[in-house]
């Protein structure tokens, strides 16, 4: 029997919460099958199994926070530990597993397939964050030859390390019918199980909203249930928000409800407090006529090259920011207090603040200054879609140099944003809406918005901050002026 211990999924995280088990005791799992969803201090992460066999014990209950290195699941051979002799309740973290009867066979060696997942046609060598097979019957599939025990530990570590390389996000997940399985000698014949097609984040949303997926008719590809399907059957999303409303109904008769501060929300709170009280913030505002930007957005939408990407004013704002940085590079720098140095970044990792039910996340587009407008649009689309589905990984939030926060989607005019730790400035854009505006001495209706820039006043003085904000505003007012940069 092999115990899978909670790994460090990146950046020195020390603990995580068990959110949802994707398997149950008695299930048969293959290498790379998703067995559990955990929440770290930065994001939700799905863990693939490094072993193949039968789930013997779930060693940590859902909702419990445990340190890295704690055994969380035991996987073995059905012949070595009959299912009816396994304990019915999960053991305590770190509790050793004992054989059900004296004289049981030796523990199975971990089966590790290090073949190229992209080159394989599916099966056990597939994607590191592969399919969810939690509802199988208790059957065994034909197994590969076991890897020698001496190589198993190192191979398993390599397999897990590969799962969390920087920038690797979980691919879209859809359930498929199991390949032919061989029934165990003591198990009944396999019973066909019909499952509703839905991605793991959609399943989690349905669980949070109390929606039974089996009652829904999917509108996605191949009948897949989408977030919109779940939200229309349960709680609707907040206006302009990309995530479901995280508010919980008040229990009958109770005047207060307490919710633990943990995971992403806890880290976000600590980061914002640290930033607010360690960086001298200055915020400047400017209200502009963005009519020409809106006209440019409509022209871009009509172009053949942009037909497969979403084009919004955020795209024009992102490009304007990177152009304006050429004249004010201090905006894309960082005050290193320990080294008593200002670090100038010659690249732009452009962060987009996104509110989710689990807290604020700020994924960033790497090397955004190198991307043509079409590729930048695609990168922004992918970034926001990943955040919306709750699949943003820690590596995608690391290394940001400048952040945009868009409160306009909520109908808000603007705000005083707090600088993301490790950066020196953040720009907030408010709602773009028709308002009276003076043009050539006459009052006309124009598309008006407000920009707010917060910056670190230790090394960005008022002149530099004002010039940068004015440059961004100028491009949004007249996109053709970008040719001057």
With b meaning 16 or more CB within 10 Å and e meaning fewer, what string describes 85-118? ebeeebbebeeebeebeeebeebbbbbbbeeebe
**Alpha carbon distance 267, 14 (integer Å):** 13
Taking a C-beta distance cutoff of 8 angstroms, is the pair 363, 397 a contact? yes
Q: One of 144, 222, 457, 459 is an active-site residue; which one?
A: 457
**Alpha carbon distance 86, 186 (integer Å):** 14
480: CB partners within 8 A, 6+ apart: none
Q: Is 390 left (phi over 0), alpha (psi -120 to 50) or beta?
A: left
Residue 90 has, within 13 A of its CA and on its CB side, a CA count of 18
347: CB partners within 8 A, 6+ apart: 367, 369, 370, 401
Cβ atoms within 10 Å of 435's Cβ, excluding its own: 12
Question: Is 281 a catalytic site residue?
Answer: no
Residue matched to tokens 């004992």: 98
Q: Is 399 left (phi over 0), alpha (psi -120 to 50) or beta?
A: left
Output the six-digit token pair for 306.
């942009």
**Alpha carbon distance 219, 221 (integer Å):** 7
Helical packing angle, 313-324 and 373-388, nearest 10°: 120
Q: Which residues are catalytic?
A: 457
């Amino acid at each position: 029997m092999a115990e899978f211990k909670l790994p460090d999924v990146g950046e020195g995280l020390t603990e995580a919460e068990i959110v949802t088990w994707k398997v149950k005791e008695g299930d048969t799992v293959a290498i790379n099958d998703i067995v559990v969803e955990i929440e770290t201090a930065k994001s939700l992460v799905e863990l693939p199994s490094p072993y193949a066999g039968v789930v013997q014990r779930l060693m940590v209950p859902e909702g419990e926070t445990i340190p890295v290195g704690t055994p969380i699941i035991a996987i073995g051979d059905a012949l070595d530990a009959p299912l009816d002799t396994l304990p019915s309740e999960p053991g305590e973290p770190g509790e050793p597993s004992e054989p059900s009867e004296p004289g049981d066979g030796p523990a199975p060696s971990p089966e590790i397939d290090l073949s190229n997942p992209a080159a394989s046609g599916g099966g056990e060598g597939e994607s590191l964050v592969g399919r969810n097979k939690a509802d199988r019957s208790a059957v065994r599939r034909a197994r590969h030859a076991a890897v020698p025990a001496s190589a198993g530990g190192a191979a398993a570590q390599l397999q897990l390390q590969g799962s969390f390389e920087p920038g690797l996000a979980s691919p879209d997940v859809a359930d498929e019918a199991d390949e032919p399985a061989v029934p165990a000698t003591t198990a009944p014949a396999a019973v066909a199980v019909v499952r509703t097609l839905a991605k793991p984040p959609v399943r989690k949303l349905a669980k949070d909203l109390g929606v039974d997926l089996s009652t829904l008719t999917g509108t996605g590809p191949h009948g897949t249930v989408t977030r919109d399907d779940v939200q229309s059957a349960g709680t609707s999303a907040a206006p302009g928000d990309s995530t479901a409303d995280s508010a919980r109904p008040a229990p009958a008769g109770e005047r207060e409800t307490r919710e633990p501060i943990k995971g992403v929300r806890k880290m976000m709170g600590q980061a914002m407090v640290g930033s607010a009280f360690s960086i001298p913030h200055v915020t400047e505002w400017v209200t502009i006529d963005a009519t020409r930007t809106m006209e440019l957005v409509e022209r871009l939408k009509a172009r053949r090259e942009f037909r497969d990407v979403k084009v919004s004013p955020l795209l024009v704002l992102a490009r304007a920011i990177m152009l304006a940085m050429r004249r004010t590079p201090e905006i894309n720098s960082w005050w290193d207090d320990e080294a008593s140095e200002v670090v100038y970044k010659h690249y732009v990792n452009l962060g987009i603040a996104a509110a989710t039910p689990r807290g604020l996340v700020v994924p960033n587009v790497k090397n955004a200054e190198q991307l043509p407008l079409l590729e930048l649009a695609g990168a922004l689309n992918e970034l926001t879609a990943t955040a919306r589905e709750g699949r943003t990984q820690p590596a995608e939030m690391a290394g940001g140099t400048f952040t945009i926060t868009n409160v306009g989607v909520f109908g808000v005019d603007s705000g005083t944003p707090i600088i993301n730790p490790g950066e020196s400035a953040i720009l907030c854009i408010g709602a773009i809406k028709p308002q009276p505006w003076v043009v050539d001495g006459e009052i006309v209706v124009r598309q008006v918005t407000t920009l707010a820039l917060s910056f670190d006043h230790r090394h960005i003085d008022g002149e530099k901050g004002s010039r940068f904000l004015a440059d961004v505003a100028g491009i949004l007012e007249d996109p053709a002026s970008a040719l001057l940069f």
